[in-house]
Amino acid sequence: MLINLTKVFKEPESTLEESGVVDVGALSEDMAMTFPSGARFSVKFKNLMDCVTLSLKCECEYVSECARCLREVRGAVSFDFESMVKVDDEGEFLLDADAVVIDSSNRLDVDELVSGLLVMQLPMKVLCREDCKGLCPKCGADLNEGECACDKNEVDPRLLKLKKLLDNDK
């Protein structure tokens, strides 16, 4: 969605509000998650005579899987973003700068803004719970549901040599 800011730029003390949903499906592959209802946002622009400010609120649900046990995990993030709006002839978009840059026709690409900010808010690693025990590396059993029959004391062959050395020391 492109928001045209010409009016709010021209009229001192004017405001402009928009809200909607951004399809952020393009982030799915990189983030290893899906976004069943997109990213909901509301944005407000205010002309303060010498500048235009932007305040954005956004929330987004995601579905991913636990990095340890692969169970489905549902979560949500919500965040606020405040910035000044700056016009740039080249229409270059600078996310890490304080000013959000819009194109030469006074349009701001909300989809791009929301996706760019959302990426920084989403968790890089999702766990079903902090102390998830994960899957047994041998049989694949979900260790959250109880111990499996595998021998956990079996020593890694690479460590056997070391173990022998240590035992001889006793």
Residues at the contact surface with Zn ion, assessed by CB under 5 A: 66, 68-69, 128, 132, 136, 138-139, 141, 148, 150
Q: How far is the CB of 34 from Zn ion (least distance, A)?
A: 18
**Would strands 99-102 and 72-87 be described as parallel, antiparallel, or unpaired?**
parallel
Furthest C-alpha separation in the chain: 85
Q: How far is the CB of 123 from Zn ion (least distance, A)?
A: 13
Q: How far is the CB of 149 from Zn ion (least distance, A)?
A: 6
Give me the helices (H) in the chain, please: 6-10, 28-31, 110-121, 157-169
Listing DSSP states for 127-138 in one string gives -SSTT---B-TT
Residue 128 tokens read as 């079903």
Instruction: Name the nearest CA neighbour of 81 among 123, 42, 49, 46.
Output: 42
Phi, psi of 14 (to 5 degrees): -85, 160
The 8-class DSSP code of residue 125 comes to S
Q: How far is the CB of 72 from Zn ion (least distance, A)?
A: 10
Q: How far is the CB of 75 from Zn ion (least distance, A)?
A: 13
**Would strands 2-4 and 107-109 be described as parallel, antiparallel, or unpaired?**
antiparallel
